[in-house]
Amino acid sequence: MVMVSGNRHARARRFREWSSGINRVLPRIPGEVTSVIEELKARGFQAFLVGGALRDLFLERPPEDWDVATDALPDQVEEVFPDRLVVHTGKRFGTVRVLAGEIPVDVTTFRREGAYTDGRRPDWVEFRESVADDLSRRDFTVNAMALDPLAQKLVDPFRGRRDLRRRVIRTVGDPLSRFGEDALRMLRFYRFQAVLDFRGEAETERAIAQVAAGDPSLLAKVSPERIREELNKLLTGIAAGKGLRGLVRTGLLTIIAPEFAPVVKTPELMEHLIATVEAIKPELHLRWAAFLHDLGKPATRTQDGTGVHYFGHEQAGEKLAAVLLERLRFSRAFAEKVLILVRRHMFPCDPGMTDTALRRLAAKVGQEALFDLLELRRADIVASGNHYHRAWRALSGFASRIQALLREEKVLTLTELAVNGHDVMAVLGLAPGPEVGRIMQELFYWVTEDPERNTRERLLRYLEEKKKKE
């Protein structure tokens, strides 16, 4: 008797947990998305909310994008929403994008898929009748649930709800064969840990270490763009350090970024880079700069009577970082934003620095990069735990001084000089050429010593006097 009632209690408790989860999720699905599901069901199709959105709703995080899975074929989906279709390239793989009010919803036919031998797209997709088949192709249990909000029915064959509660990332099915189909999933394993602050299941991690040691070429097949997107999400995640340490531990990092091989052999340096990532604001270019800033240290290390030195490690690091960012197909503009920070991260950070020197630094790196450099230095200091107080004071002093200089418009760039290259050529009788640029630079330096000098009159007088002296 006691047993029976105990079971009943346990069952009732499980039911409460299960239903309360759904009850919390239902009101947070936008009506527009629910109506897409409703319209498909009205035509006799099945339709479920699936993937990352459902996971995020359970976690009370705002979903990034909305996915609906259905047994309707792509043509049939198009017939249901003739005037709300968005032109989209996914149809061949079963995805039709529908505009639900303002919200784009990707409606995808239940499918199974083959291996990604080109690392971009599955070799084949096969449409299926059941949502369970569709869920079984998905990467992780927490991403492999489906909810019919109208029937209030959750389909969860791989116990994704339980893993969400335990905060675990675990593959659907055998990790080795799932990574064999698509090696990108190994990176996604760490990306979700970093973004959600979950832990990775140990068996899954062992499989990754095994792949990394045994068949490192597996990841070579994955397109650089897909790798880049996963790394970007990982780096900006709230638990970025956790994800990065996993990549290091399993050997994945050196496979995707061989530039890190010497760093990984110096665990204190690797840990310093990760700690800098954790300490810096979660903006993409700052996170990358933090991760890469000391990449040049192993190659430039020297030792003499006075200690260990890394002369020129910024330049060496910048070169390695440039290769890495280009391989991942970052835009040149983005790469330059990161590289300037790597290149300049050793800027003198001395409380005694003069306004002139600060203005010149601002002019050299640009105003935006200047504040980024301060942030990078701050994170660098926090991450090394060294000379914390002195450098910290210098930095906060810098920030307010630079802000004051900006307010007084005393920070200039070359284009803000009150004269231009034509004036220089006219006064000095020069033809276009590098000499003109050199003299503009000279004027600029003269002005940074005293911004009051930046008037057309005074600059022309300066040029006249220069001419007289020649």
Interface contacts to ligand ATP, rule CB under 6 A: 51-52, 64-65, 67, 138-139, 143-144, 182, 184-185, 233
Among Mg ion, ligand ATP, none, the one that 139 touches (CB under a kind-dependent 5 to 8 A) is ligand ATP
**Complex with ligand ATP: residue 188 or 345, whichever CB lies closer:** 188
Least CB distance from residue 133 to ligand ATP, whole Å?
13
Q: Which is nearer to Mg ion, 52 or 241 (CB)?
A: 52
Would you say 146 or 405 has its CB closer to Mg ion?
146
Measured from the CB of residue 412, what is the shortest distance to ligand ATP in angstroms?
42
In single-letter form, the type of residue at position 431 comes to A
DSSP annotation of 140? B
Least gap, CB of 229 to Mg ion (angstroms): 11
Chain centroid to CA 146: how far? 27
Helix (H) or strand (E) holding 399: helix 388-407
Query: Which residues are CB-neighbours of 42 under 8 A, at least 6 positions away?
Result: none
Q: Of 158 and 192, which CB lies nearer to Mg ion in the complex structure?
A: 192
CB closer to ligand ATP out of 109 and 454: 109
Element (H, E) at 324: helix 313-327
What does R_g of the chain's alpha carbons equal in angstroms? Answer: 29
Q: Using CA atoms, how far apart are residues 417 and 411, in angstroms rounded to an integer?
A: 11
Burial classification of residue 376, based on how many CB atoms lie within 10 Å of its CB (0-12 exposed, 13-18 middle, 19 or more buried)? buried
Cα–Cα distance list, 221 to 117, 206, 244, 412 (Å): 7, 21, 21, 47
Nearest distance from C-beta of residue 138 to Mg ion, angstroms: 12
Residues at the contact surface with Mg ion, assessed by CB under 5 A: 52, 64-65
For Mg ion, the closer CB: 64 or 118: 64
Q: Which residue has its beta carbon closest to Mg ion?
A: 52
- Out of ligand ATP, Mg ion, none, what residue 377 binds, judged by CB under 5 to 8 A for its kind, is none
Out of Mg ion, ligand ATP, none, what residue 182 binds, judged by CB under 5 to 8 A for its kind, is ligand ATP
Q: How far is the CB of 188 from ligand ATP (least distance, A)?
A: 6
Query: C-beta of 252: minimal distance to Mg ion in Å?
Result: 22
Residue 292 near residue 317, CB atoms below 8 Å: yes
Answer for the pair 50, 160: CB distance below 8 angstroms, yes or no.
Answer: no
Residue 314 contact among Mg ion, ligand ATP, none, beta carbon within 5 to 8 Å by kind: none
3-class DSSP state for residue 29? coil
